[in-house]
Amino acid sequence: MKRMVIFLLALFIAIPVFAIDGTQLLKEIDRNLNPESYELYRKLINIEPDGRKKEYVLFTAKKGKDKVAALFLSPASDKGRSTLRLGDNMWLYIPNVGKPVRITSLQSVVGGIFNNADIMQLDYSDEYTVEKIEDLKNQYLLHLKAKTKTVAYDRLKFWADKKTKTPVKIECRTEADMLIKTLYFKEIKDFGGGIIRPSIIETDSPLYKGYKSIIMIAGIKKREFKDEVFTLTFMPKMESLR
């Protein structure tokens, strides 16, 4: 009888977890982070172990599931560079070189812990499937698996706040479960237009001991763009979007 009660209790506790639709939850988290189409200003800061830092400011435009473009506004050495992502295709435009060059998602345009996939990130639900959800006290822990081999990180361990349905921490892992980097989402802020989300993302990596990277978000808002904005021809003209 006692075993029966424990079994029923365990089943009762477990039911809400199984009741959660992982895909739907991930989609909700995506929408809480940003509208499907938007413009965004970001500052990326690489901090070295001795405290020295290097900062980049980017203007980003995203449309739909698979179109992202970013323009470097600062520092002067990178100003005018732009990156474009169309699904798994990525390009970099350097004004001096004068033409877009295909790049890979694992390369890094800015150096440091960030790679191109971090800078031109698509919705999590478009790149990952939810394999498992754990119901923790105040958080969900989602175990995500990349849908294709071209996604930069094969597995994500994704902690999301139950109340705000926004990420708290994400561990990026290889197929062999090696930790590549950890993202910490901090300081939830109301950006207007119904967008309430973490405004700071800190990153560290066991591959870069002592180094830290920070993304600061400002000026995110919903915006529609024409498809032609996300083409190679438009890359040198991205400044005209601002």
Partner 1 sequence: MLFIFSLFIFTIHYSLFTIHLLFAEEYKFEASEFEKKPYRIGGYIEFYPVLFGLDKNSSLYKLNFYDRSEGGTTKQYNGNLQLEGSLEKGILRAYVKTFTNYTNSYQTETTKTTVFEGKISIKPTDSFIAEAGKKTLNWGKGYAWNPTAFLDRTKDPNDPELSREGFIVGSLDFTKSLSGPLKTFSFTPVLIPVYFGVNDDFGELDHLNFASKFYFLLYDTDIDLMFLTGGSKTTRYGMDFSRNLASNLEIHGEFSWINDFKKTITDSSGNTSQDRYNAINYLMGLRYLTEKDTTFILEYYHNGTGYNPKEMRDYFTFIDRAYEMYTSKGNRTMLNKAINLASNAYGRMNPAKNYLYLRISQKDPFDILYWTPAVTLITNIDDKSFSLMPEISYTGITNFEFRLRGGPIVGTRGSEYGEKQNDYRIDFRIRYYF
Beta carbon of residue 174, minimum distance to partner 1 (angstroms, whole number)? 9
Beta carbon of residue 150, minimum distance to partner 1 (angstroms, whole number)? 5
> CA 48, 53, 54, 55 torsion: positive or negative?
positive
- Locate all alpha helices (DSSP H) within the chain, ordered by sequence: 2-19, 22-33, 116-119, 124-127
CB-based contacts of 160-167 (< 8 A; 24+ apart in sequence): 160/25, 160/29, 162/138, 163/138, 164/32, 164/188, 164/196, 165/25, 165/28, 165/29, 165/32, 166/29, 166/32, 166/33, 166/197, 166/198, 167/29, 167/33, 167/198
Number of shown-chain residues binding partner 1 (CB under 8 A): 68
Q: Which one, 154 or 161, has the nearer CB to partner 1?
A: 154
Beta carbon of residue 11, minimum distance to partner 1 (angstroms, whole number)? 42
Is 37 one of the binding residues for partner 1 (CB under 8 A)? no
Beta carbon of residue 62, minimum distance to partner 1 (angstroms, whole number)? 15
Cis peptide before 75 (omega within 30 of 0): yes
Is 231 one of the binding residues for partner 1 (CB under 8 A)? yes
CA distance linking residue 32 with residue 123, whole number of Å: 11
**Which of 9, 104, 187, 194 is close enough to bind partner 1 by CB under 8 A?**
104
Beta carbon of residue 187, minimum distance to partner 1 (angstroms, whole number)? 12
Q: What are the backbone angles phi and psi of residue 138, rounded to the nearest 5°?
A: -110, 0
Name the one range near partner 1 by CB under 8 A: 13-21, 156-164, 165-173, 202-210: 202-210
Is 111 one of the binding residues for partner 1 (CB under 8 A)? yes
Is 188 one of the binding residues for partner 1 (CB under 8 A)? no
Beta carbon of residue 61, minimum distance to partner 1 (angstroms, whole number)? 11
**Which of 25, 103, 119, 120 is close enough to bind partner 1 by CB under 8 A?**
103
CA distance linking residue 126 with residue 146, whole number of Å: 9
Name the one range near partner 1 by CB under 8 A: 9-17, 27-35, 38-46, 136-144: 38-46
Binding mask of the shown chain, residues 115 to 154, with x at each position contacting partner 1 by CB under 8 A: --x-------------------------------xxxx--
Is 190 one of the binding residues for partner 1 (CB under 8 A)? no
Tokens 């033409």 locate to 99
Look at strands 89-93 and 196-205 and give their pairing: unpaired
